[in-house]
Amino acid sequence: MAYRMWEIMERSATGPFMEEAEFLNKRIPRKMRDVVKKYGITYDPAHPVPADDGLADAVWQAAREFFVEVGVYNQDTHRVMYFSEDEVDEALYTAPSSYRVGEGRDARVFGWRAVEDPRPPFCIFSPDITYDEVDHLSACLAYMKEPLLDAICSPLLEEFMGRPIQSRTPWEIGGSMEHAMNLRHAARLAGMPGVFMIAVGTAETDVAQIAVSDAAWGVRPSDGRLVGSITEMMTNNAMLNKGAHYQMYGSLSGNLAGTIYGAYSGGAEGTAVMQTAYHLKGLLVHSANFEQNFPFHLKYGSNSGREMLWVVSMFSQAVARNTHLVMDSNGFMNAGPGTDMLFYETAAHALTSTVSGANLWESAPARNKHHNHGTPLEARLGCEVGHAAARQGMTRAQADEIVNALLSKYEERIPDAPVGQPFQELYDVRKAVPKPEYLDRYKRVKEELHGMGVEFPY
């Protein structure tokens, strides 16, 4: 249900006035430094997957205090939206701990997970990459074929009818409609017409998102949607429009948030606190049903490095231990497809997220910047690793040891990570299946992971 939607919308227009520079440059950094110091939060690079319940709880307390005192800023109205401790408690108590998503035989349960939970993570497959328009349907179908797929946020489009898609133009609406229709068509062809789709990423604006809300050919009420958070702790009227439309249309809504390491929140400690606080922002401002997390490094645009894996582990543990909110962890990698490095990064991110209490959203290769550079195989490996870790009862300490071993294989290569190869070179596009040599590489890395202690179920 929507949490006091219209009362909160009112605050976006009538809250205390503040200049954006004051909010970003003074208010956020000052309060973040205060709470990190007050709660004694310290990053230890030796343990990218900490097994410290007290530290996780300290991150949660710091995030809660930060959110209540700093609030959320509306860029259009220059107003700050504040929330009381009582409202935070009420929203947390009334939020569901799980949802039945999708339709018919393709329905799944998307829910809260505990730290070191033996239940496998809910697996959302998404490359977060744009593809050539001519190959978009094939890319969608390739992802739909994956056996561990619980949901999909599909390949994106950057062209429509041969023209670049630009926000707030007819080409954005047309491209978003094509995206939605390709996704639905691919689902039928793969025999999964009821699969849960978190759609559509091509639709950047509120107008385009509303345009694709159509149960006959586009996004259904049974599907998921995303409303973005503007870094850091900001929104605008277009984002509020999206959130309100999703609630009234009936879609499951996710808050899309990525704290930037090395920016307004500071280092690893502040980044973990801010990413945790975004769960409260999504819940109270947008009535979000789940949190889609993708903190990333300012310089590299990824979250598979040592300090970023610590951030991933800490925000996941903080939320899993202190709430029953539904969340996922989105992997952003440095290397591109067709490289061992990408598989190592994906495995490290999936292990860290799974044992720390998160569901999986895998994954964005090549720093999410290179057209056509994303395939289902890296996502498959991440989700197989997640299932294995949960089923074998892997502890944080065990995951920490494996993640350290994986980091030793790629950590030094992060600054000059290989871009890899595009989808069209690694997959048979007509059949939407991986080429034999690429599949052999995947199998070899999987065997290597098995030797490290990952007990794959098959």
pLDDT digits (tens, 9 = 90+) for 116-142: 999 999 999 999 999 999 999 999 999
CATH for 184 = 3.20.20.460
Give phi and psi for 229, each to the nearest 5. Answer: -105, 135
Stretch (H or E) spanning 248? helix 237-249
pLDDT digits (tens, 9 = 90+) for 153-187: 989 999 999 999 999 999 999 999 999 999 999 99
User: Which residue range is the domain that position 218 belongs to?
Assistant: 98-452
Is residue 131 within 8 A of residue 156, CB to CB? The reply is yes
Give phi and psi for 80, each to the nearest 5. Answer: -100, 130
Say how many C-beta atoms besides its own lie within 10 A of residue 40's C-beta.
11
Tally helices (H) and strands (E) across the chain. Answer: 16, 21
Tell me how many domains the chain contains. 1
Average pLDDT over residues 208-218: 97
pLDDT at 412: 98
- Omega cis (within 30) before 65: no
Average pLDDT over residues 201-211: 96
Residue 154 DSSP one-character state: -
Q: Which residue has the tokens 């990218």?
A: 48
Average pLDDT over residues 189-200: 97
pLDDT at 154: 82
Q: Do the domain assignments include residue 301? A: yes
pLDDT digits (tens, 9 = 90+) for 90-117: 999 999 999 999 999 999 999 999 999 9
Q: What is this structure's pTM?
A: 0.97
| Cross-strand pairs, 152 | 125, 197
Which residues, at least 6 apart from 342, have a Cβ–Cβ distance to it below 8 Å? 333, 335, 336, 365, 378, 420
Alpha carbon distances (Å) from 278 to 15, 63, 64, 444: 19, 8, 10, 38
Is residue 209 within 8 A of residue 218, CB to CB? The reply is no
Q: Which residue has the tokens 């994106």?
A: 156
Is residue 198 within 8 A of residue 225, CB to CB? The reply is yes
pLDDT band for position 307 (cuts 50, 70, 90):
very high
Q: Do the domain assignments include residue 305? A: yes
pLDDT digits (tens, 9 = 90+) for 309-334: 999 999 999 999 999 999 999 999 99
Q: Across all residues in the chain, what is the average pLDDT? A: 97
Q: Do the domain assignments include residue 287? A: yes
Q: Do the domain assignments include residue 6? A: no
Q: Do the domain assignments include residue 160? A: yes
Q: Quote the distance between the C-alpha of residue 391 and its chain's center.
A: 23
Residue 124 CA to residue 153 CA, distance in Å, equals 7
pLDDT at 213: 98
Residue 455 CA to residue 282 CA, distance in Å, equals 35
pLDDT at 1: 58
Alpha carbon distances (Å) from 277 to 30, 104, 293: 16, 35, 11
| Cross-strand pairs, 123 | 360
Interaxial angle between packed helices 268-285 and 306-322, expressed in degrees from 0 to 180 and rounded to the nearest 10 = 40
| Cross-strand pairs, 219 | 213
Is 3 a residue whose pLDDT tops 90? no
Q: Do the domain assignments include residue 361? A: yes
Q: Do the domain assignments include residue 79? A: no
pLDDT at 218: 97
pLDDT at 340: 98
Average pLDDT over residues 12-17: 97
Q: Do the domain assignments include residue 57? A: no
pLDDT digits (tens, 9 = 90+) for 229-252: 999 999 999 999 999 999 999 999
